[in-house]
Structure 1
C-alpha cells in the first residue's frame, strides 16, 4: 500500500475559526490520501526535513493579540528554516490570512510572494480563472462566494491564476511560484465555512496542494 503523504497544517493568530477550518480541510484531504497533522507551534518549522514532512499548509493570521495560538509572527530562524526547506524541494501552500505576516518580516513576505494590506466588509464576488493551462486550474470554472476580499501587495514575478473584481478593478485571488527546487502557492479566499464547503474551492485547494507537492507537473 502506498504510504500517505504527510502534511503539516500550521494554525495560529486571531479573528479566524482555525479549528473549524482544520476539521473541514482534514476531511477533504483525507479523501485524497493525505495525512494532516495540526500544529499551533511555529517552532515545528525548524524540523521539517528531520520530521519527514512532504508539505506545509499555513492557515494563520499573525497578530499581537493574546489568545490561543495568537503569536505575532514567525521568528527569523523559523522563516529561514521554512525557506531553506522549500528551496531544497519542499511544497508550501499558504491560505487566506497567511499573508497577514505580522512581525514575520520581509523574508517571509518574499517567500509568500505578497502581503495583505486590507479588506472591505465581506460581500459576494465571483472568482475567475485566467487560464486553464496550469495544473492548479484543471476543471476550475468561475465561482461565486461570500467572503472577505483581500487587497494585497504582490510580487509581479508570481504567476497569477485567479482574479476577482472590486470597484471595477481586478485583483489577484490565487498565485504560485517556483522557489529554488520547491514550489509555493497562495489562495486568498477562505474566511467563512460556506467557502470551505464550496466544491470548487475544495478542488482548488486540493490541486494547489498537489502542485506544490509535485504530484501535478
Structure 2
C-alpha cells in the first residue's frame, strides 16, 4: 500500500506524525511525506492508494498562511470520488470551517478543545476499525466537533470530564472512502498499541483491503 502523508502545521509539527507512523512502516505500507503545502499538487495524490491528512490550514509549521483554496478542495473531492482513500487524523479537521466542500467531504470539522485531560476512547458499534469491546484511555486534547450531516457512520466516541463527542467516523463518497479520527495530539497517543491498531485498520479500510 502506498500512502501519501500530508502533515506539519504550527501547533502540530510533523515529527509527531512521522514517529507515530514508524511502527507501521514496512508492514506492506510505504509512506511518503509532504510537509510544505507548496510542494503539494493534485496529480501527485493519484499515485497513492491512501492520503493521510494530518495538517491544519497552514502552509507549514513555520508559515501559518492558509493553503486550502477552492481549487485544493476540488482536488481532494475528485481524488476521493474517483476511488482514492482519505484518512484524516486530529489536526486535519482544524482550520477548515469555511472550506465548505472539504468539510462536507470529511463530514465534520474541529470547533474547540478544553485543556488536555484524560479522554476515554470506545467503540459504539460493530465496525472493521475498532473492536466493539475495546476501551482505552489517553491524555490528549479532547476535540469538540461540528458535524456536517447525519450521513457519517460514527464508530468511535471520546468521553472526558467535559462531555462526549464523535471521535471516529467513516464516509463513502463516489468510488472512494473517507475515515476521520480526532485523537492524536501527543506522540504517546500515536504509539499506544490500541491507536496503532486503529491507524493500521483505518488505512486498510480506506484502501478497500478490508
After TM superposition, is the score higher than 0.5? yes
* Structure 1 unmatched runs, 5+: none
Which string of whole-angstrom CA distances, capped at 9 and with x for unpartnered residues, describes residues 22-46 of structure 1? 1331x12214211100102435241
| Residue 25 of structure 2, aligned match among 30, 54, 65 | 30
Alignment of 1:139-178 (within 5 A): 141-154=134-147, 155-167=149-161, 169-178=163-172
Report the CA distance between 1:69 and its aligned residue: 5.2
Q: Distance in 2 between matches of 1:53 and 1:69?
A: 26
| Residue 9 of structure 2, aligned match among 10, 13, 23 | 13
Which string of whole-angstrom CA distances, capped at 9 and with x for unpartnered residues, describes residues 137-187 of structure 1? 247610000000000111321010111224574210101110111000001
Q: Distance in 2 between matches of 1:191 and 1:168?
A: 17
Aligned residue in 2 for 1:44 = 40
Give TM-score, length-normalised by structure 2.
0.90
Aligned residue in 1 for 2:208 = 214
Bigger drift between 103-112 and 161-170 goes to: 161-170
Over 3 Å counting, the alpha-carbon distance change for 1:139 and 1:166 in structure 2 is closer
Alignment of 1:1-217 (within 5 A): 5-25=1-21, 27-42=22-37, 44-48=40-44, 50=46, 52-63=47-58, 67-68=61-62, 70-102=64-96, 105-132=99-126, 134-138=127-131, 141-154=134-147, 155-167=149-161, 169-216=163-210
Over 3 Å counting, the alpha-carbon distance change for 1:28 and 1:140 in structure 2 is farther
Q: Distance in 1 between matches of 2:144 and 2:155?
A: 16
Report the CA distance between 1:15 and its aligned residue: 0.8
Q: Distance in 2 between matches of 1:140 and 1:69?
A: 42
Look up the SS of the partner of 2:8 in the other structure. Answer: strand
Query: Aligned-residue CA RMSD in angstroms?
Result: 2.1
Give TM-score, length-normalised by structure 1.
0.87
* Structure 2 unmatched runs, 5+: none
Over 3 Å counting, the alpha-carbon distance change for 1:137 and 1:72 in structure 2 is same
